Amino acid sequence: MRGILKGLLVAAALTALANTPAKAQETQTISDNGVWNEFVWNGGPGTPFQDADYTGNTVTFAFTLTHPDVLRITDAFQGGDQFEVILNGADVGATSPTPGFGPFYLGDCWTCAYYDTTGFFTHGFIDLAAGSYTVTGFIDQTPQYDGAGAIELGAVPEPASWAMMLAGFFGLGAVLRRARREQRLAATA
């Protein structure tokens, strides 16, 4: 039942986006440099991402990747917001659920919000292959009428990537220690 309701909400929001005549569309090109690119909204659920200048223009983020990367999205303004992400015109799902209105504001520390463990600041990521992409979205859930969020490409590896890199470094260290020990033993023999 919840899936049907969510599907209807997504369909209604996409229909509203398609039939919204008054606002201009703005495309912002972003780069793979780990910089957070902000968006805002001024309205309830179904409101599309808007430019961070509060002009009311809906915003599309565009980029081209020459290698696989990760697109991250987060909320940092009075937690409790959830976003629906549209990638190349297809709904790829919502960011993490939240328990409701957040107790604080993290301001411009988007990375702090992305890795926040309280659960009030929604976040999500999408693994992407090389190619050209456009990202739009809308507000799925919000306890307030307005707010802000941000997306970024490739600043910090995901925790699983860090774990694999550390395991590789430890393994390389063990191999080097063993090789040195074998050289010392051969030199004393």
Q: Same domain for 149 and 163?
A: no
Contacts of 29 (CB under 8 A, 6+ apart): 61, 62, 63
Residue 78 domain boundaries:
2-156
Asked if the model's pLDDT at residue 17 lies above 50, the reply is no
Please give the pLDDT value at position 99. 74
SS3 66: coil
- Together in a domain, 139 and 189: no
Beta-carbon contacts of 136 under 8 Å, excluding residues fewer than 6 positions away, are 17, 48, 49, 58, 59, 60, 61, 86
Q: What is the number of structural domains in the chain?
A: 2
- Both tokens of 109, joined, read 């520390």
In this structure, the answer to whether residues 166 and 126 fall within a common structural domain is: no
Pair 54, 86 in one domain: yes
Same domain membership, residue 90 and residue 32: yes
For residues 135 and 186, membership in a common domain is answered with no
Please identify which residue in the block is written with the tokens 């992305």. 114
Residue at token pair 């309701």: 5
Same domain, 140 and 164: no
pTM given for the model: 0.66
What is the average pLDDT value for the chain, to the nearest integer? 77
Of 86, 65, 69, nearest to 131 by C-alpha is: 65
In this structure, are strands 25-29 and 58-65 parallel, antiparallel, or unpaired? parallel
Residue 171 and residue 148 share a domain: no
Same domain membership, residue 151 and residue 181: no
pLDDT, one tens digit per residue, over 141-182 is 888 778 888 999 975 455 555 566 666 656 656 666 777 778
Each residue's pLDDT tens digit, 86-114:
999 999 999 988 777 666 666 668 888 88
* Same domain, yes or no: 112 and 43: yes
- CATH number reported for the structural domain that contains residue 82 in this entry: 2.60.120.380
What pLDDT is attached to residue 163?
Answer: 62
Pairing of strands 131-141, 58-65: antiparallel
pLDDT of 10 reads 47
- Looking at the fold, whether 143 and 169 belong to one and the same domain comes out as no
Residues 37, 85, single domain; the answer is yes
Beta carbons within 10 angstroms of residue 47's beta carbon: 21
pLDDT, mean of residues 33-39: 85
- Does the pLDDT at position 14 exceed 60? no
Residue 2, class by beta-carbon neighbours within 10 Å (0-12 exposed, 13-18 middle, 19+ buried)? exposed
